[in-house]
Structure 1
Amino acid sequence: MLHHRRTATLTVLTLVLAGLSLPSPARAAGSTLTVNVGTAIRPVTHVASGGLYALAENSRPADSTLLPIKMNSITQPPPRVGQKPNGQPAGGDGLLVAPQAGRVGAAELLRMPDIYPDFPYGWISWADWYAKVDTMVRDRLAATGVSNIEAWEVWNEPDWTWNTAAAGSFPDGWVRTVQRIRTLDTVTPVAGPGYSTWNPTLMSAFLTTAKANNALPDITVWHELSGASGIAAHVAAYRAMETSLGISPRPIVINEYATPTEVDVPGAVTSYIAKFERTGVEAAHRAFWYEYGTVNGLVVGNSQPTGTWWPYKWYGDMAGNMVQTVPATQTGLDGFASYDGTRKLVNVVLGNESGANTVRVTGLAALGSSVKVTLESAPGSGRFTAVPAPTSLSSSTYAVSGGTISVPIANMDAARAYHLVIEPAAGAGTWQQRYEAENASVFRAARLSATSASNGGYVGRIDNTGDFRTDSYVDFIVNVPSARAYTLGIGYANGGGATATQGLAYNGGAWTTVSYPATAAWGVFGSTVSTAVTLRAGYNVIRLAKGSPFFAGGTGYAELDYITLS
């Protein structure tokens, strides 16, 4: 949430600003979280790894803190930002931070009303607002090297920041603003309405007016700032509302989540992430309550992780498919989990409960008759205390019975997040060598499914339009053990009957061309091509593009299944 809207009590605010852990909430112990490894719910896309005002100019925080958490998307102020959040200078201009966001694989929503210096926004007149809209859109169109702008967020929290007396109703104002944007930019999606909470009455009225005027949002946005327990019901209600109004499903972006007393508590944010993954939202962004340029408290001193960074890092380590997790209730123990079928590796992140609890994991038959289970945790250190490593708790071998194990976790602290890694007893290998395309950062292409695709998913509809707002590319964030040359293998399909080409670049370096000979059909995989890449030790970003800034453009079409490094 943007500054000033809500006030914490002095006691809580003092604790947070001092970087101290808040007291763990009192909860009943003895809960069980069930993880069904055999039930995939969606590809791993790190849905909730994003933030409002996550980045500031001059590469703050450092790329080294962002690459491990695999940021999905962020919301930033527009060009010529006027907002001075919480007494800070205006900053975080979305066009100025876009190169860093692009380096780490994140898309951006641009929040248009943040061109105003005041909050709540100081409405002047329609003529003034139109002039501001024109300026922002022209600035964006002039930034031809920026290709990761996902949408214009037309307004922020209109349920209490829109000046109805001076500007008329918000739904009508939305229509007028979208029409003004479209006089200059008919391409970039629009996101809204951005209500501060789920409000079915306001949402219904908004959608009805927007539909009647051919101004529906391309992305639906609202905020979840009152606890995680209602998220599933809110998403279900919105989907039912779309159906009742005859509106095709929109991607949902919850671009502010968690209260001031939750956002720096690993156990609490774990509960939010679990619910966002389970409900199928497109993306979710940590709320802004304090300073910008830290992913809202994940980083201190520009490059040191706080305790809350660690569950996002564990999240970033996930690959393959997110799998079903079933909590006993919506208010206590919860978690999210993934299964990487290539490495036979299960990751579970859980929290938001105290005392003695259990994680029951089913669907483990493919891992063998016994598995190695390691457990670690991350404390609620607050915003200003670095936590250089998680706390190692245990490493044990479990016999698998009927594909199932039950892992007891004693003495849980509801403020902490916990990380379970389950792998074959012999181990899962030292580093990830296969990266699924559907797990990568996908810009203006489509994640699709096919029975012949590795892990069941691939990326298609990768196009080159010649327009930086619509060109397609895929960014793979990879982590390698040493600086050296690697063989990059690419699994693909090309049913076009002739060789297709894409551009290849890594870590912002020079472009080369990858050629994909024709294959039997679209969506039928098994073919590969390979080339050499020279990578640095640690994290690297590999881009395969049909169209991208500073690349002349590819030819034909190729669908991407996975890449391998060897």
Structure 2
Amino acid sequence: MKKSLAGVVATAAALMFSVLSAPPSQAASQPLKIDFSTTTGDFRGGASGTLYGFGDEGAPTQALINGAHITNTSQKPPYGTQHPGGDTLKIEDGFFAKHGEDLYIYAQDYYPEWPYNSGERPGDERTYDLAKGTYTEGPNGVWDYLEVLEFVVEAVATRSEHPEKYVIIPFNEADGGNWYPDWATQKDQFLGDWEATYNEIQEVYARHGLGHARVGGPGDSRWLKQRSSDFVAFAKDRKVLPDIWIWHELGIENLATYRGHLAEYRALEQEHGIGPLPVNITEYGMLRDMGTPGQLVQWFSMFEDTKVDAQTAYWGYSGNFSDNTARPNGANAGWWLFKWYGDLEGSQTVKVTAPQPDTADTLQAIAARDDTNSRATVLLGGSDDDVALQLSGLDRKTFGASVDIEVREVATTGAEGLAQTPRVVWAKNAVKLNSGALNLPVQTYNRYAAYQVIITPSGDRDVAKAYAAQPWTTTVEAEDTKVTGADITTHDPQASGGWTWLASGNKDVRAFKTLDSRSDWTVKVPRTGAYRLQVIGASNKKPGRHALFVDDRFSKLVQYAADLHWDYRGSAEVLLDLKAGTHTLSLRTSQDGKTLLPNPDVTLDRYLLTDVTDGEPTQYPASTFRLYNGAKLDHGQASLSGKARSDLYVTAMDTGYYDVDVAYRTKKPSDVRVTVNGRERAKLSAKQSGSWKSTVRLRLVEGINEIELRSPSGVLIDTLTTTRVRKSDASQVVLEAEDARLEGQASVTELAASVGSNASGRGYVGYVGNGTENAVVFDRVKGYDQPGDYDVAITYANAELKGDHQYNPQVVDRRAELQEGTRPIGHGYFRYTYDWNSFSQRSIAVTLKTANQPLRLTSSQGWAPNIDKVTVAPAVLGSPLTQRLR
């Protein structure tokens, strides 16, 4: 197994390899040609759509939604019972907040069963209440499904703020066991029903003066040429053509066959004289593709190249972008591929020549140029071999005679494994262009990793220096360690039709459950200090524990939260102090060698060790900013003035205080406004012209934080840098729920040590909510005994399921509400944690207006999650500091 470039960083000199004037000669490299002079159209950005990717409000969080730049999603309808959460009307505000464009409804999701209505087309057996979406048994002369459609579309027409942005899908996989599987005998029935449902949808919109309602179809489970041809002919003749043509591309083989299917569909359009219609592949990919950037980039590339929208399939559970988020607010590696893809907004895609086009599980790429901001980008992945990137067509008028280059890597962290901001794995300043061309070797980790290459005109920022200044880190595959008392398992990514989540490097360690089970490896750390060990692994449906030994002495317990499955990998993180030099690290199932720790049978995939002695400073250069309302890159700096805005998505590996540094230049007295997760937190000021660095100490929440920068009077921003300041966590107040005042039915459950829970203290409080009289009440104490802005981090468990499904856990997002006394101050929905003894963290920003009214946690809408503890911390510490750089 090759090591990640990020895993062998020591100094810039140790990694610098030259940009060549001719293609690399190593046999292991695959050539990838990018011609920036040949554009293939405006960036569409629709390939990162998602099916049931949204749960209830705030699940995923708004930072995850905005950062992923999802333009289209399919959800269940109002009154729908197929899934407990994700009603379109409940998620539309968050979806449309920034990048959402098209909100699709699977109308048949009204029915709780899969296949719908037990696979049988309903007749006229019920009478429905239009206002309530309920029914009574007994016919009324109207086909039942037409009544369902009427009240579903009526709800959208009358209750949505954006009915024009909806797309109604009357039928989902009608060919695949949902009412019309036999085309030979059921064709006429389906076509007649399509016409009836199409007209019903239009009638509802018309009676509310909304104009044309957009309809998507036919929605087949796969590409079916004859069925599609019959449908086109009928729909054209009856004037009931869908506005968006829909089908699914799910299997591994569809990575090879999709383009042929699309070509056949476009030929049908020409044959029948229609279109071209927009296309949305409303389900694509298998379990193995989700959360895995090197797989996702293959799908993204072909959908973007053909300028269609597409949605990741629903295989795990709802509300996590189809396994492309981690924890309540975190990014896994897949999320970062979504984010990188969304960063291409406003650019034009260019010609890519892959070594094996239309071939599953091979090197593929997306490339784009943004002439306004003089920025070129390549996203690539899917190869076990290194890549010989051959770039041409970099126009001198846009990029000048030389360019700065940065290459970032994101390697898979599992579905629930927290991914840090992708590291720069190679960078170089002032690379000369030879007639607009250059060749760049990219050393790849494995086929499951993806890479972002950013090229900008040479500027003042020293990209090589920034690369070398990154904190030291190293990584090792679990199977490459010395494994005792456990099994090394190889996983074929094409086995079982892709019905498995992937292991990094195709191998992991299993049956890690006996007293002698251990994994040992040697590391050499560059200096004495603090280090974070991250273990990527899966604890099946319950929390687990391991003992970490350093040089054969017990150091720390490694605590795992529960995961969905043995293959559904998450991550656990611990801090440890190490002296400079070589050490042997060892994960074991027992601390004393005599007694097994609770639930030690954890699948082990990969280990990462990172130097955090200096707070792990992470730099976000202007070349990676998203720019809006007139903001633009000016020689590598983000130019802001007036209403211009830059959006950044920064990672906090744990909730706490971070110094946020903004480096900028001014031509006159000016300021930078800093908004964090939707709330303005700081105003950074420079009193005169010059180069400045302003620092503000902010509370960031675990996972992804959205930071917006504005400057009404104008600045040029170079970088934003975050640095963890753990000593300032002393300003937070930790309140154990079991020590709080309990009202109503709220009660304490004490946890036995044998369950291996990751709860703090001695237990948790349950039976909170289901009426505001059942509450946990925290009296005001020093630390939050003054009015002001605070972050309230709630550590909770929620393993509620509702209903059954063939392969998906029907998860419920439980709601919790915060009150100051009796005044509502905030609320949130809390996603699934897999087990009632497994706890996660979700933060809510609040403003307290008194010094003495208690903080009250309850829920007026159903039961709240079980509460372990609440951590209250000021949103900002101190005042911003500004210093002149030069």
- 1:204 Cα deviation from its structure 2 partner: 0.8
User: Which runs of 4 or more aligned residues in structure 1 lie more than 4 Å from their structure 2 counterparts after TM superposition?
Assistant: 165-168, 431-437, 475-478, 480-487
Post-superposition shift, 1:436? 8.2
| Alpha-carbon distance, 1:478 to partner | 4.5
Distance in 2 separating the partners of 1:182 and 1:337: 40
Which of 186, 204, 222 lines up with 1:197 in the alignment? 222
Where in structure 2 are the equivalents of 1:335-354 lying within 5 Å?
335-354=365-384
Q: Please say if 1:263 is aligned against 2:290.
A: yes
Q: Deviations over 1:65-114 (max 9, x none)?
A: 12122211111111111103xxxxx2111111111111132120111111
Tell which has more relative contact order, 1 or 2 (C-alpha 8 A, sep 6+).
Answer: 1
Q: 2:146 aligns with which of 87, 111, 130?
A: 130
- The 2-side partners of 1:411 and 1:57 are apart by 38
Structure 1 residue 119 displacement after superposition: 0.8
- Distance in 2, Cα, partners of 1:74 & 1:537: 21
- The answer to whether structure 1 residue 180 and structure 2 residue 200 are counterparts is yes
Cα distance change on mapping 1:478 and 1:197 into 2, 3 Å = farther
Contact preservation (8 Å) 2:291, 2:323:
yes
Q: 2:300 and 2:629 mapped to 1: Cα distance?
A: 22
Match of 2:353 in 1: 326
Letter in 1 for 2:157: L
The verdict on how the C-alpha distance between 1:419 and 1:50 changes in structure 2, with shifts beyond 3 A counting, is same
Within-5 A mapping of 1:202-351: 202-227=227-252, 228-281=255-308, 283-318=309-344, 319-330=346-357, 331=359, 332-351=362-381
Aligned to 1:547: none
**Alignment partner, residue 98 of structure 1:** 92
| Contact 2:291/2:325, CA 8 A, preserved across alignment | no
Change beyond 3 A, Cα 1:477–1:251: farther
Say if 2:707 is the partner of 1:538.
yes
Instruction: Tell me the distance in 1 between the aligned counterparts of 2:440 and 2:245.
Output: 39
2:434 equivalent in structure 1: 401
- Deviation at 1:184? 1.7
Report the CA distance shift for 1:190/1:485 in structure 2 as closer, same or farther (over 3 A).
farther
Matched letter for residue 385 of structure 1: G
Distance 1:39 1:290 in 2: 39
Q: Which residue of 2 aligns with 1:370?
A: 402
Aligned to 1:50: 49
Q: Which structure is larger by alpha-carbon Rg, 1 or 2?
A: 2
Question: What code does the residue aligned with 1:286 have?
Answer: T
In structure 1, what is the Cα distance between the partners aligned to 2:196 and 2:247?
Answer: 20
Matches of 1:476 and 1:323 in 2, distance apart? 27
Q: Secondary structure at the match of 1:422?
A: strand
Residues in 1 aligned to 2:95 and 2:350: alpha-carbon distance in whole angstroms: 28
Distance 2:372 2:71 in 1: 23
Which of 99, 116, 120 aligns to 2:111? It is 116
Q: Structure 1 433/277 Cα, relative in aligned 2: closer, same or farther at 3 Å?
A: closer
Distance 2:299 2:45 in 1: 13
- SS at the partner of 1:229? helix
The TM-score with structure 1 as length reference comes to 0.70
- CA drift of 1:320 comes to 2.0
Q: Which amino acid aligns with 1:378?
A: V
C-alpha separation in 1, matches of 2:411 and 2:645? 27
Q: How far did 1:430 drift?
A: 2.6
* Structure 1 residues 216 and 413, CA gap change in structure 2 (3 angstroms): same
Partner in structure 1 of residue 716 of structure 2: none
Compute the displacement of 1:482 (Å).
10
Secondary structure at the aligned position of 1:100 is classed as helix
Q: Is the 8 A contact 2:647 2:708 kept in 1?
A: yes
Local SS of the residue matching 1:161: coil
Distance (whole Å) between structure 2 residues aligned to residue 359 and residue 222 of structure 1: 34
CA deviation after TM superposition for structure 1 residue 154, in Å: 1.3
Report if aligned partners of 1:78, 1:111 keep a CA contact under 8 Å in 2.
yes
Give the whole-Å Cα distance in 2 for the aligned partners of 1:229 and 1:29.
23
Structure 2, unmatched stretches of 5+, are: 1-26, 125-142, 207-211, 462-620, 633-642, 649-661, 665-669, 681-704, 711-886
Distance 1:427 1:31, change over 3 A: farther
Within-5 A mapping of 1:365-444:
365-366=395-396, 367-397=399-429, 398-426=431-459, 430=622, 435=628
Distance in 2 between residues matched to 1:249 and 1:56, nearest whole Å: 33
Deviations 1:368-414 (A, max 9, x none): 22222211111122211111222331112433112111111234411
CA contact (8 A) 1:360 1:407 kept: yes
Decide whether the 8 Å contact of 1:102 with 1:148 is kept in 2: no
Residue range with higher mean Cα deviation, 345-354 or 204-213: 204-213
Gap change, CA 1:149 and 1:434, over 3 Å in 2: closer
Change over 3 Å in CA distance of 1:144–1:50 after alignment to 2: closer
* Code of the aligned partner of 2:382: N
Contact 2:376 2:456 in 1 (8 A): yes
Q: Any idea what the Cα deviations from partners look like across 1:145-183, whole Å, max 9, x if unmatched?
A: 234633101111111133238986323321121122223
Which residue of 2 is the match for residue 544 of structure 1?
none
CA distance in 2, matches of 1:354, 1:132: 50
* Partners of 2:343 and 2:626 within 8 A in 1: no
- How far apart are residue 44 of structure 1 and its match? 2.5
Judged with a 3 Å threshold, the aligned counterparts in structure 2 of structure 1 residues 53 and 482 are, in CA distance, closer, same or farther, namely farther
Task: Say whether the 8 Å CA contact 1:378–1:416 is kept in structure 2.
Answer: yes
Matches within 5 A, 1:523-562: 538-539=707-708
Which structure carries more helix by proportion?
1
| One-letter code aligned to 1:336 | I
Moved more, 324-333 or 146-155: 146-155
Are residue 361 (structure 1) and residue 391 (structure 2) matched?
yes
Distance (Å, rounded) in 2 between the aligned partners of 1:482 and 1:76 = 42
Amino acid at match of 1:362: S
What is the number of equivalent residue pairs in this alignment?
428
Hey, which of these two has a bigger chunk of strand by percent?
2
Task: Name the SS for the 2:287 alignment partner.
Answer: coil
Write the letter of the residue equivalent to 2:173: E
Tell me, yes or no, if the aligned pair for 1:29 and 1:353 is still in contact at 8 Å: no
Change (3 A) 1:422 1:354: same
Cα RMSD after superposing both structures: 3.1
Cα contact 2:53–2:321 (8 A) shared by 1: yes
Seen in structure 2, the aligned counterparts of structure 1 residues 265 and 144 have a Cα distance that, compared at 3 Å, is: closer
Q: Is this contact kept in 1: 2:156–2:163, CA < 8 A?
A: no
Q: Distance in 2 between matches of 1:338 and 1:214?
A: 38
Conserved in 2, the CA contact under 8 Å of 1:266 and 1:379? yes
C-alpha contact (below 8 Å) 2:35/2:392 kept by paired residues: yes
Structure 2 distance, partners of 1:55, 1:477, is: 26
**Percent of residue pairs identical:** 24
Structure 1's 427 and 273: CA in aligned 2 closer, same or farther, altered over 3 A? farther
C-alpha distance in 2, partners of 1:236/1:179? 29
Distance (whole Å) between structure 1 residues aligned to residue 203 and residue 445 of structure 2: 56
Counterpart secondary structure, 2:175: helix
Q: What SS does the corresponding residue of 2:176 show, helix, strand or coil? A: helix
Cα distance, 1:34–1:427 mapped onto 2, change above 3 Å: farther
- Contact preservation (8 Å) 2:411, 2:445: no
For residues 267 and 29 of structure 1, the distance between their equivalents in structure 2, rounded to whole angstroms, comes to: 18
Give the Å deviation of 1:300. 1.7
Q: Structure 1's 233 and 540: CA in aligned 2 closer, same or farther, altered over 3 A?
A: farther
